[in-house]
A and B are shown apart, each in its own frame.
Chain A
Amino acid sequence: MSEAIAFYVLSGLVLASAWSVVRNENLFHAGLSLILCFVGVAGIYVNLDAPFLGAMQVLIYAGAIAVLLLFGFMLTHDLMNAKQERNQHAAGIFAAVLMALVLIGTIAGAQWYGSSGQPVKFGVESLARRYMQQDLVSFEVVALLLLASLMGAVVIARKEEGSRD
């Protein structure tokens, strides 16, 4: 019962803040709503018995990605004059509503079977076993990807010699 209450409260929070992210005229306020949305999704993970993933969500998404986006926004905008115009309004609504209808129709029409196995607690230990056994290659590839994107971001964003500023 408490799981149901938590689910509905968190869903409302996530959807309302996501609406604010895509609709708010001030992009800085949209970024702050994005942080709220990420924290709500972390609550959904805790509700799904994955507290470790919830902690990672708060650390990486709310703590790093949202702040990085806000910094990117502040470096390219005048904060006091941050009104945003938008385009393709009708096409955007059409595509989003169509997508929602197709997905919800498919979900509602499908037959879902529950698993009969033992409930698992998604802790660090089960994750570590998986990463060090089945998914070892993917794990190493992701480490390489992080290194490459780190170096790529530095190369792309640095000032070049002889540029005009």
Chain B
Amino acid sequence: MIGLPHYLILSALLFSLGLYGVLTRRNAIGVLMAVELMFNSVNINLMAFSHYMMDTAGLAFCIFVITVAAAEVTVGVALVLSVYRNRNLIDLDQVAELKG
């Protein structure tokens, strides 16, 4: 029998994989992909609670998260393209002008 904890553990594992990707990828597009994994794990979490609490709040939040993720990726890819065009680099470690 599948219960709420099964979905929560799947979501925790997916979140940890995304965290690992964010920390180890050097490429800006790779980091954005890993951030999308983390968004998806949060959505699974929200939807699992929504299903087992029998409430539509989680579903509504899920759609909000998907919308904000779409906006985030649009601006993120535009920033990456802008940095690439002006400085011809994509490696996040080299984009460090603002470092104190």
Contacts and interface: CB of A to CB of B under 8 A. Distances in A.
Contact of A86 (B9, B24, B44, B70): B24
Contacts of B55: 115, 120
B11 to A, nearest CB: 8
B23 to A, nearest CB: 4
A146 B14 contact: no
Interface string B56-91: 110110111011111111110111111011100010
Contacts of A99: 12, 15-16, 19
Contacts of B57: 130
A60 B84 CA distance: 26
Interface residues of B, number: 71
Contact of A96 (B7, B19, B36): B19
Contact of B24 (A22, A107, A115, A146): A22
B80 A65 contact: no
By size class, the interface of chain A is 35 or more
A139 B59 CA distance: 13
The residue in B32, B44, B53, B73 that gathers the most chain A C-beta atoms within 10 A of its C-beta is B73
A18 B37 contact: yes
Nearest to A159: B85
Interface in A106-165: 107-108, 112, 114-115, 117-120, 122, 126-127, 130-131, 135, 138, 142, 145-146, 148-150, 152-154, 156-157, 159, 163, 165
Please classify the interface of chain A as helix (H, G, I), strand (E, B), loop, or mixed, using the class held by over half of its residues: helix
Q: Which 7 A-B pairs have the closest CB atoms?
A: A22-B21, A103-B12, A149-B71, A96-B20, A92-B23, A157-B78, A100-B16
15 contacts: A21-B33, A34-B33, A44-B44, A44-B47, A73-B29, A76-B80, A99-B16, A100-B12, A115-B55, A117-B54, A127-B60, A130-B57, A149-B72, A153-B74, A163-B86
Interface of A: 3-4, 7, 11, 14-15, 18-19, 21-22, 27, 30-31, 34, 37-38, 41, 44-45, 48-50, 53, 56-57, 60-61, 64-66, 68-69, 71-73, 75-77, 84-89, 91-93, 95-97, 99-100, 103-104, 107-108, 112, 114-115, 117-120, 122, 126-127, 130-131, 135, 138, 142, 145-146, 148-150, 152-154, 156-157, 159, 163, 165
